[in-house]
A and B are shown apart, each in its own frame.
Chain A
Amino acid sequence: MAIGVKVMKRPSDEVSYIRATLKGMALTFKHMFQARVTMEYPEAKSTDDWRIATRWRGTHRMMTDEQGRSKCVACGLCPQVCPANCIKLVPGEDEKGHRYPLIYEIDEFRCVFCGYCQEVCPEEAIHVGVHYENAEYSRDRFVYDLERLQAQTHPVSTLWDPADPRGQ
């Protein structure tokens, strides 16, 4: 025997081949008549025992105020914290001295969905969303601009709360 071959000690007296095979076949046959557990996705998006987590971090959503403007004050924290460097922010200032984003774009392909942007935002403006159906026909559709981020309607992620670690 070659050196270093691991030798398994198996209970060779209790070994069974034919009985074990028949047992296995009985088991697989039984399974053919059991209930299917598949959730058939496009028709059913959640079942009684499964739904998407509220802390799911998907594509972003920009919150708006009552006048429909984005809540973002262009503080620059989210592009600063973003580990993937995928937020493009050009700040602007109106005549009253209110800062707002001139350009606010998120490249969802480069995003790693860490959720830091939502955590860091002082205005609770940018959020990661509970959303996963993002198919598009072209790559450039994945750079979401401000308008698009504001137009999203899906629920936003509830981030991890140290006071309530299990999210209940």
Chain B
Amino acid sequence: MSPLEKGFLLLAVVKMIAVFSMVMVGVALLTLMERKVAGWMQNRPGPNRVGPMGILQPAADGIKNFIKEETRPVSANSFLFLLAPALSFIPAVMLIAVIPLAAPLPVDFDTVLPLIGRVAYHGLMPIAVADLPIGFVFILAFSSLGVYGIALAGWSSNSKYSLIGGLRASAQLISYEVAMGLSLIPLLLISGNASFSDIIARQQQGLWFIMPLFLSFFVFLISGFAETNRLPFDLPEAESELVAGYHAEYSAMKFSLFMIAEYAHIVTVAAMVATLFFGGWDIPFTHWDERGGLLQTIVTHGFFFAKMFFWIFFVMWIRWTLPRFRYDQLMAVGWKILLPLSLGYIMVIAIAIQVIEHGFGWTDPRAEGLSLFVLNLVLGWLVFWVLDSGRVVRGIAPRARSAAASGRGN
């Protein structure tokens, strides 16, 4: 192996370890944050017994989960029962690998290390474990793998509640996967590339995609919630109906793995919203962050983290605000609103880009972004007006109303 290849591998391993441990620690702290936020929203202090301000609560929970008894239902399929938590955990953690966490760092070294010999690296090092050219597709592919873990967990537990939970999860994730993938097509149309670095670069030249692609953001956010299996989309666990849904039969660390997977999914969705719609690590109104350097990397990571953190908070905020959907409403929202909305939006954006770039000849990203933004103001207002007044998700109310009306007529 050449020193350059070795250097690349070395950096990759270092990044891998760093990001993995950051995600694990972050997930542990998120469980605390969730309970704190829940507490604050209900005028409670939240956990505050273990350590100062309850900061050691995740450690206590972790230790508890390690020393708890592992149970396995006698009639469970033991191989799949063991495999399922791993299957839901691994894709969830892998997702974060392709997201650029900060501005690329210029690295330049050529040294001889013990054991591995001469290593070298010259040039910009992307601050992502793997800056894949198809990062975007990778995310879509792996986030849908998570459903196997859940469906298998539900099936292999051999319990009716788990099975229903698993089935609901598969149906829900498949439905929302479609809307999620389609909602991002306009983004690809504008950026013209599926690599996260290019998507961010495009947002730096033009506008953050939240403005020209507001409806994409709206659909993506909702389907992101559905992907994380969190309220208001936590039908697979629905504790009031299904005990705990697909993980009802799991205990101790296996249960923890599902929990970690859920929180890792939250991190990923938040990171994706930040990256795809809020410019990733971009600092607005300045080009200082694109020059490259250690300071830039650190500061941009701070910005990325702040954006991501806000969306993580947002996920929790929603959880403690909204009640759970009814199952048919869930399906109705997915198939009857989000899917046609994102399909129509692709058409509109494609036509708009064609008109703007070839009709008006505005190829400057900023002008294009602004004109799309104006278009989105109109579209967004229209969509919200239709959605908000309950003209779409009606359930059985109209029939009741027409029955009442005919009753009056007689």
Contacts and interface: CB of A to CB of B under 8 A. Distances in A.
Interface string B19-49: 0000000000000000001001111110010
Interface in A1-45: 1, 7-10, 12-13, 15-19, 21, 24-25, 27-29, 31-32, 34-38, 40
A21 B319 CA distance: 11
Interface in A63-106: none
A35 to B, nearest CB: 7
B384 interface: yes
Interface stretch (B117-125, B275-283, B393-401): B393-401
Contacts of A21: 321-322
Given A8-B400, A9-B404, A38-B44, A28 B320 contact: yes
Interface in B341-399: 384, 387-390, 393-394, 396-399
B294 interface: no
A18 B387 contact: yes
Interface string A38-59: 1010000000000000000000
Contacts of A31: 40-43
Contacts of A1: 396
Contacts of A34: 43
B317 interface: yes
A25 B317 contact: yes
A13 B318 CA distance: 25
Contacts of B393: 17
Nearest to A21: B322
A37 B43 contact: yes
Contacts of A8: 396-397, 400
A16 B394 contact: no
Range class of the A interface residue count: 20 to 34
Contacts of A19: 388
Contacts of A32: 37, 40-41
A17 B388 contact: yes
A25 B41 CA distance: 10
A25 B393 CA distance: 21
Most buried by A among B37, B321, B398, B401: B321
B34 to A, nearest CB: 13
B400 A7 contact: yes
Contacts of B401: 9, 12
A13 B394 CA distance: 10
B44 A36 contact: yes
Contacts of A35: 43
A10 B396 CA distance: 9
B390 to A, nearest CB: 3
A35 B40 CA distance: 9
Interface string A102-127: 00000000000000000000000000
A37 B39 CA distance: 11
A113 to B, nearest CB: 29
Given A25-B317, A28-B317, A12 B44 contact: no
Nearest to B393: A17
A8 B396 CA distance: 8
Contacts of A29: 41, 317
Contacts of B394: 12, 15
Contacts of B321: 21, 24-25, 27-28
B241 to A, nearest CB: 18
B398 A12 contact: yes
* Residue of B387, B388, B394 with most chain A CB atoms under a 10 A cut-off: B388
Nearest to B403: A7
Contact of A36 (B45, B317, B320, B398): B45
A21 B48 CA distance: 30
Contacts of B399: 7
B44 A18 contact: no
A10 B387 contact: no
14 contacts: A7-B396, A7-B400, A9-B397, A12-B397, A15-B390, A18-B384, A18-B387, A18-B388, A24-B321, A24-B322, A29-B317, A32-B41, A34-B43, A36-B44
Interface of A: 1, 7-10, 12-13, 15-19, 21, 24-25, 27-29, 31-32, 34-38, 40
Ranked nearest first, the 4 interchain pairs of A and B with the lowest CB-CB distance are A15-B390, A12-B397, A32-B40, A18-B388
Given A13-B390, A15-B390, 7 more contacts: A7-B399, A16-B390, A18-B384, A18-B388, A25-B318, A38-B44, A40-B48
